[in-house]
Amino acid sequence: GIKTKSMFGSSEVGGDHDETPIWDDSCTLDANKDGLPDNYPPACDTNEQILELRLRAPDLEIIEVAAAKTKGEIGEMLSVSVKVVNRGNAHATDVNIILCKDQSETDIKRNGCEEINIVYRQIVKAIMPIAEDDTEEPNSITLLYMVQAGNHEIVVVVDPDNVIVETDETNNIRRIPGGKMSSTLGVVDVGVDVIAKYSVPVIILGATFSLIGVSGYVIYGRRIAALSRFAELSSLLPGMEDDDLRF
């Protein structure tokens, strides 16, 4: 509410005759909601006005996360089903839902999900608020995770950038069941992936050095052959100077 105070003090110190430190005697108080004030002058405080504010804001909450499979071949797409409800009193639009890998829920709450760790993103155009007595199950939202080599912790995050102002921001993060999604061979796949990643450049580099070596050997062989030919001709023409020889 709103309260004004007199520069001469309250009624307790001989100032404003009806100003009191409490709010229970406000002339605008209507605790029983009957449309009539609970206190009437002169037994009420006219320095106060009780206000009722109705704030409208969404409140998105992840109520369920399910993954039919948490292991697959590298490159395979695994589905993650998410159910999100809006317990607020206003609809939410352009809701971002992401899959974040290799970050804990605590880290995401503090620092957000780093861009390089976002493995999937989906935008839901609108999520309408539900009534308090509504028992209807919300529709599932399907997110896709492309299997990467190794074991990765996967967390579902709603509104990761906190663009939507909500009454409660603590219920927008939830891990998948089991916490991790992995490739078939787990850590072994990581080693295979590293070998596959760097084997081609190593082969190309080795082939390049081999070609350089072969070229050097050929050039060296031709030089030796030319010197031998020069020596042979020199022995056949003893009366000529070396500068007069032409090949």
Residue boundaries of the structural domains of the chain: 1-53, 60-184, 189-244
Identify the pLDDT of residue 143.
96
Identify the pLDDT of residue 17.
77
Kindly report the number of other CB atoms within 10 A of residue 56's CB atom: 10
Identify the pLDDT of residue 227.
72
Identify the pLDDT of residue 107.
93
Q: Determine the Cα–Cα distance for residues 74 and 71; give it in Å rounded to an integer.
A: 9
Give the pLDDT means over successive 10-residue stretches in the chain (247 positions): 82 79 85 87 85 87 93 91 93 95 92 94 93 78 91 94 90 89 69 60 74 76 74 60 53
Kindly provide the b/e burial profile for residues 121-152, where b requires at least 16 CB atoms within 10 angstroms of the residue's own CB: eeebeebebeeeeeeeebeebebebebbbbbb
pTM confidence score: 0.61
Please tell me the CATH code under which domain 60-184 is placed. Answer: 2.60.40.10
Helix (H) or strand (E) segment spanning residue 194: helix 187-236
Identify the pLDDT of residue 19.
83
